[in-house]
Amino acid sequence: MKKTILLATLICGTLDIAYAIIMAVLHDGNALGVLLSVASGPFGSMAKTWGWTGGMLGLATHFSIMLVMVTAFVLLIKYIPNLARINSIVLGIIYGCLLYTFMYWIVLILRWPEIFPQTQPMQIIRALAPHIFMVGIPLSLIVNFLIINKKSSAQIR
């Protein structure tokens, strides 16, 4: 289970941060700005002045958050085995929506109440899409392949 959690964290974390960086670049931003913005969550706005040190802290923060998201999903599958009966794509979409809701309607509002919630349709789509397509679905497929199918194969033998 630990290997699955680490692999899923690496894959989903990379997909998610790559999406954020690509979107930033397409809107005249850059990778460092994305990472500094992530670092400013736990370390405050001063983190945005720390250059690549702050950027690396942002990357570590990002993957730490992803580790929690992935671990929560794996534990849900472990302790609520009926979830494994749901189609992986559907389960990934549901989990991605739950992650978005928690992050954008609780965490970010508590951290930056002056700019959240963001309620414009395009803002919602840009925030919801990576939670579904970069995290929820890949995570569900990885867990299905590495944990659920493995259990099913073992039961057949």
Residue 157's pLDDT band (cuts 50, 70, 90): very low
* Number of domains into which the chain is organized: 1
Residue 93 lies in a domain: yes
Residue 99 resides in a domain: yes
Give the pLDDT band of residue 147 (cuts 50, 70, 90). Answer: confident
Domain enclosing residue 101, as ranges: 2-151
Mean pLDDT of 29-47: 96
Residue 57 lies in a domain: yes
Q: If pLDDT is split at 50, 70 and 90, which confidence band does 156 have?
A: very low
| Whole-angstrom distance, CA of residue 1 vs CA of residue 79 | 13
Q: What is the pTM of this model?
A: 0.90
In this predicted model, what pLDDT tens digit does every residue of 48-94 receive, in sequence order? 999 999 999 999 999 999 999 999 999 999 999 899 899 999 999 99
Nearest alpha carbon to residue 116 among 106, 126, 125 = 106
C-alpha 89/C-alpha 75 separation (Å) is 18
